[in-house]
Amino acid sequence: MSINAREFYRNGPAHRLERASSFALIRRQFDFRSIEIGRWVTNIERDRAAELFHDALCDLMLILQGPEALVSLRGSLALQYGSGGRPGVSAHYDPSQRSFALAKNAGPGSIAHEWFHAFDHYIATKCFRGTSSGMFASTAWLADATPIAHPLNDRLIQCFKAILLQPEGDQPSELFNHSVKMDKQLGQLYYSKPEELCARAFEAFVQDATIKNHFLVKGSKASPEATLGLYPQGEQRERTNGLFGHYFAGLGEALRRHSP
């Protein structure tokens, strides 16, 4: 079903004051490196997607308490809509291109997950020494990479610990254990990858925010994956939500303070 025929629940504030959105407006506001629209996307589909994207990105900015530069990762992130996708995949982040792609008729609710992959990749070289170009910060932490001393990096590392480890810090978390179990059942390595665990925990943080937007995120509470324990639950969810909030509030403040 085309997104033009669907409505997505949202309770956030009006961001455009009745002004029509466009991908050109989104690029100017957030300073994305580029935005590419697929050749099979009609003008109606493009315009509707622009409205949904615009509200989702503005809502994300409010939830993270940061400026536009945080959402576009200081202008380094590219967006693709209906272009650059992979067969059978509704949304994905490509580290080699630093690009986030959303399929034309699928992928709503995936923005928070894929945006965190982009962030996790972007922040790796700023949080750890000696990381390779394609490495995620969450993966670097699990591989015992050397952290770069900074209070904000300390906050992010606390997020990783809360997601991947028990509160005592010496055993894998329930989220990790559930994810390993699912991977074993499916004969794959996906759910238990650190970058996937952290992206799903970030989804939970965004979905639990006061602002709700189902085009931005959905599925961390009532989906089959949530039922199987593939998202943080209970006390772990509360703890990771609090730590993510603490980290992004500090990061947003630092970005605003140093913006030109």
Grouped pLDDT means (10 residues each) for the chain, 260 residues: 63 80 94 94 91 95 97 96 67 92 78 97 97 94 96 98 93 97 97 98 98 94 94 97 98 86
Which residues have C-beta within 8 Å of that of residue 247, sequence separation ≥ 6?
152, 155, 156, 158, 159
Structural domain tally of the chain? 2
Residue 112 located in a structural domain:
no
**pLDDT of 106:** 60
8 and 68 share a domain?
A: yes
Domain identity same for 47 and 136: no
Residues 174 and 95 in one domain: no
Tell me, yes or no, whether 113 lies in a domain. no
Tokens of 203: 């989804």
**144 found inside a domain:** yes
| The pLDDT value given to residue 258 | 79
Q: Does 91 share its domain with 186?
A: no
107 bridge partner residues:
none
Q: Are 155 and 247 in contact (CB under 8 A)?
A: yes
Task: Please report the pLDDT score of residue 18 as a whole number.
Answer: 66
Task: Tell whether 59 is covered by a domain.
Answer: yes
Name the burial class of residue 236, with classes exposed (0-12), middle (13-18) and buried (19+) by CB atoms within 10 angstroms of its CB. buried
Q: Which residue range is the domain that position 150 belongs to?
A: 118-258
